[in-house]
Structure 1
Amino acid sequence: MPAAGISSFASDKAQTRFARAYEDLRLRRWPADAVAVDVPTSFGVTRAYQTGGEGIPFVLLPGAGGNALSWLHYMSRLAATRPVIAIDPVGEPGRSVQEKPLYNGRDWADWLDGALTALGVERAHLVGVSYGGWIALQYNLHLPGRAETITLLDPAGFGRVSGRFLAWIMLGGLAAFSPAPFRRLAARVLRNATLLEDDLMRLLRASTAFRRRHLNPPELTDEELGRVTAPTLALLGERSQMYDAQSVATRIRAQIPGARAETVPEAGHDLPVRCPDLVSDRTIQFTAATETRG
């Protein structure tokens, strides 16, 4: 049995099946010029993909249960403006290898700092969806000065995980195993555009035997939000299943110094998949404007 706090697949067979699906998607849909790099951290070997030109890079952090390949619609868009690094977090279904539990936000900040240091990155434009957004904020709280900007996409850490959100996750998981016509109907009913992505669904189905053992992100306090020093942009799905997006946007504007927050009509927690053009454009414009002001 794995040690407490160490995520793992239920069996070697399940891990092999996932690795096959992961590599199939990477070879077919991932940018050919994205270089895979495995770097050591104190929490395990971390897989990252690097592409793009010169400048301060975008660093892409997926949500819970996700990996770098979830950013397949973003790599080329963002790499047209600056370097991009997409990361498989340790303890998530991907190509990183977790060796030590992560118990709190400080651990997550240290993991990310270790990975970026090994990659030679001194400062980064962090882009995090859901759990990845919470990690980005923890990085800035514990290691201020390393994040050039933070872009949050329907971030976690703004309230307890609700029964409504868990039901949305479970129903989406069930729909992932359904025939394509039912999946497309479920995508509309559940407001989950990810269900329309056949390739991502294959990877999701292959990851169901993964046993994730990370903490649920505790709610960020007003005091913590007030200590966020990096320029911050928050994009929230107006119909987010995680929380009341308007209330969270208001809180972000009130508590994070100088933060911008926008709710995106018709989008839910599926915002990054539903609106890749909008999210890419807002992120590129925000980071460029911040560097120009600097």
Structure 2
Amino acid sequence: MTTIDRPSGFTSDRGRARFLAAYDRAFTALWPVPVSAEDVPTSLGVVRAYRAGPSGPDPVVLLSGAGGNALGWYRHVAALSAHRPVLAVDPLGEPGRSVPSQALADGVTAARWLDEVLAAVGAERAHLVGSSYGGWIALEHERHLSGRVSAVTLVDPAGLADLSGRFYRWVILGGLSVLLPRPLRHRAARALVNGTLTEDELMRLGLAARSFRRRLPAPPVWTDPDLAAITTPVQLLLGARSALHDSTAVARRIATVAPSWRTEVVPATGHALPLEAPGLVVARVLAFHPTRAGDDLPDELTCS
């Protein structure tokens, strides 16, 4: 296992300034609702968090995947915040406005910064919603520091199966496709089943992060006892065509080792499930909240 001895960061002040300018432009262009931005100090760095919707101790906490930040949830936040308090964060160690001060070496440290953010914002019954790497962080929190969370939604998360050559090819081809002209990039999105490639503003932001060096632990695969020991209610949304894992096999595994989880394989979606089916993700999140009565919601909401 690779030892991580320093935090993620930009290779130059100029590169960081270029990225932050692009970040602010993207936020202005994409974010659909009023928010309150705050920088939350933790023992591992300062975390940028955005509050939207009503106040309360039971926020929906949005955690993006690798290379992402709060902007990855721009299609979801309006519909979510119409019903619930929402806290969208720029995860420590990813390109965004959060600034890590120490190396994040393992799942325990990832759980710690998240728990300190939850404590700082007064969360008592949070609903963690994590996509990909953010899903791994969410479940690591429940493994090590549960107590402030009432529900977890994992959206095609890392950590449920070994990574295959297929996934690495998908990542490499996706990275190359970012450089294509827009029409070809959108065509590549269909071929690769990667809806992120159709997000023009997010693609520009990704290009602006070229000088960012991500230093975070690779998620190990959770063992069956790891998963069986989780006591927090969990729902699992899997992209049927995900390159991250064989979703059918993952669903079978969960049915055996964690039968209390609500598991759904979403047809015609890939690993970029949050951006490919945002209305479905929002509807599932709002309907899955064990501490309050379910809202009368359609199977899928409209998210622009």
Query: Structure 2-normalised TM-score?
Result: 0.92
Corresponding residue for residue 45 of structure 1: 46
**Residue of structure 1 in register with 2:301 after alignment:** none
Question: Equivalent of 1:137, from 118, 124, 139?
Answer: 139
Counterpart CA distance in 2 for 1:231 and 1:120 is 20
- CA contact under 8 A between 1:126 and 1:150: conserved in structure 2? yes
1:165 aligned to 164, 167, 173, which one?
167
CA deviations 1:79-123 (Å, max 9, x no partner) are: 011100001111110000010111111111111011111122222
Corresponding residue number in structure 2 for 1:11:
12
5 Å matches for 1:21-32?
A: 21-32=22-33
Query: In structure 2, what is the Cα distance between the partners aligned to 1:266 and 1:241?
Result: 12
1:264 has 2:238 as partner:
no
Shift of 1:32: 4.4
Find out whether 1:211 has 2:213 as its counterpart: yes
Count of aligned positions: 290
User: What per-residue deviation string (whole Å, max 9, x for no partner) do you get for residues 22-72 of structure 1?
Assistant: 000111221341110001001000000001114411000000111011100
Q: Select 1:178's aligned residue among 152, 177, 180.
A: 180
Give the Cα–Cα distance (whole angstroms) in 2 for the partners of residues 175 and 26 of structure 1.
Answer: 23
User: What letter matches 2:21 in structure 1?
Assistant: R
Shift in Å at residue 227 of structure 1?
1.1
When the two chains are superposed, the root-mean-square deviation of aligned CA atoms in Å is 1.4
Corresponding residue for residue 62 of structure 1: 64
Question: What is the distance in 1 between the residues matched to 2:164 and 2:12?
Answer: 30
- Which has the larger share of helix? 1
* 1:204-254, Cα deviation, whole Å (9 max, x unpaired): 111122110101001101111011111111000001101100111122232
Distance 1:171 1:11 in 2: 27
CA shift for structure 1 position 145: 2.6
Match of 1:278 in 2: 280
Output the CA distance in 1 between the equivalents of 2:147 and 2:208: 38
TM-score, normalised with respect to structure 1: 0.95
| SS at 2:292 equivalent | helix
Q: How many angstroms apart in 2 are the aligned matches of 1:123 and 1:5?
A: 33
SS in 1 for 2:180: coil
Structure 1 gap ranges (5+): none
- Residue by residue, what CA displacement relative to the aligned partner does 1:134-174 show, whole Å, maximum 9, x if unpaired? 11111111122321100000000012332211111111111
Q: Which moved more, 1:240-249 or 1:54-63?
A: 54-63
Q: Distance in 2 between matches of 1:178 and 1:145?
A: 46
**Is contact 1:57-1:84 (8 Å) kept?**
yes
d(CA) in 2 for partners of 1:101, 1:122:
27
Q: 1:284 to 1:32 in 2, by over 3 A?
A: closer
**Alignment partner, residue 78 of structure 1:** 80
Partner of 2:224 in structure 1? 222
3-state SS of paired residue (1:291): coil
Summarize the Cα distance change of 1:174–1:272 in structure 2 as closer, same or farther, 3 Å threshold: same
2:106 corresponds in structure 1 to 104
Residues 203, 52 of structure 1: alpha-carbon distance in 2 compared, 3 angstrom cutoff: same
Corresponding residue for residue 156 of structure 1: 158
Q: Is the 8 A contact 2:123 2:148 kept in 1?
A: no
Hey, what's the Cα distance between the residues in 2 that align with 1:100 and 1:110? 12
CA apart distance, 1:290: 5.2
Q: In percent, how many aligned pairs have the same letter? A: 50
Inter-partner Cα distance in structure 2 for 1:115 and 1:177: 36
Distance 1:165 1:254 in 2: 25
Q: Is the 8 A contact 1:229 1:257 kept in 2?
A: no
Whole-angstrom CA distance in 2 between matches of 1:187 and 1:250: 28
2:194 corresponds to which residue? 192
Counterpart-to-counterpart distance in 1, 2:133 and 2:155: 10
2:34 corresponds in structure 1 to 33
SS in 1 for 2:154: strand
Gaps of 5+ in 2: 295-304
- Aligned to 2:113, the other structure's residue is in SS state helix
Report the equivalent of 1:91. Answer: 93
* Alignment partners' CA distance in 1, 2:122 and 2:55: 13
Q: Which amino acid aligns with 2:82?
A: A
Structure 1 residue 4 displacement after superposition: 2.7
Secondary structure of residue in 2 paired with 1:235:
strand
* Contact kept? 2:33, 2:78, Cα under 8 Å: no
